Amino acid sequence: MSRRDARRHAFALVFQLPFHKNSNVESLAVAKKWYYDGLEAKRPSGKDAKYVDSVVWGVFERQAQIDGVIENFLRDWDISRISKVDLAIMRLAIYEMLCEPDVPIGTAVNEAIELAKEFGTDDSPGFINGVLGNVSRSIKSQGRESIG
């Protein structure tokens, strides 16, 4: 399985988080079980499964910080108006940019745009590229740990 495929699994799980009544460890475990039980495609294993778990748990634990980053870079827009798909894609990408040093910042942005093309609306790739482009420039100028 490629990192891109593993990232798609992570996106699907991050996307589910807001739909669970209780945003806690148990609800995340239920979401993960539900997703994998219904999955017909190959499940991640080995280092890919570790990546998926790391990213999903990381977004789960840092969602408020990540959402704060998104809000800081929105122009005349409110986070509550962002589609759930676009929000999940940006949460995943920002987590990677801030917390996954083995993922180059440009790769996180490019992969987010690819997810937006596949799962978002026609406007999603441009919108996500605009927000993440600003986030990535800020991260590069301040250092990976400084944003938020």
Is domain 3-142 annotated with CATH 1.20.1740.10? no
Q: How far apart are CA 90 and CA 108, in angstroms?
A: 9
Whether pLDDT at 49 is above 70: yes
Indicate the pTM of the whole model.
Answer: 0.88
DSSP string computed for 13-24: HHHHGGGSSS-S
Band (pLDDT 50/70/90 cuts) for residue 93 is very high
Residue 108 has what pLDDT? Answer: 96
Give the mean model confidence (pLDDT) for residues 61-72: 94
Structure tokens, 39 = 């999955």
pLDDT tier, 30 (very low <50, low <70, confident <90, very high otherwise) = confident
Q: Hey, where are the domains in the chain?
A: 3-142
pLDDT-based confidence at residue 107 (cuts at 50, 70, 90): very high
Tell me the average pLDDT of the chain.
87
The torsion defined by the Cα of 119, 125, 127 and 130, in degrees rounded to 10, comes to 140
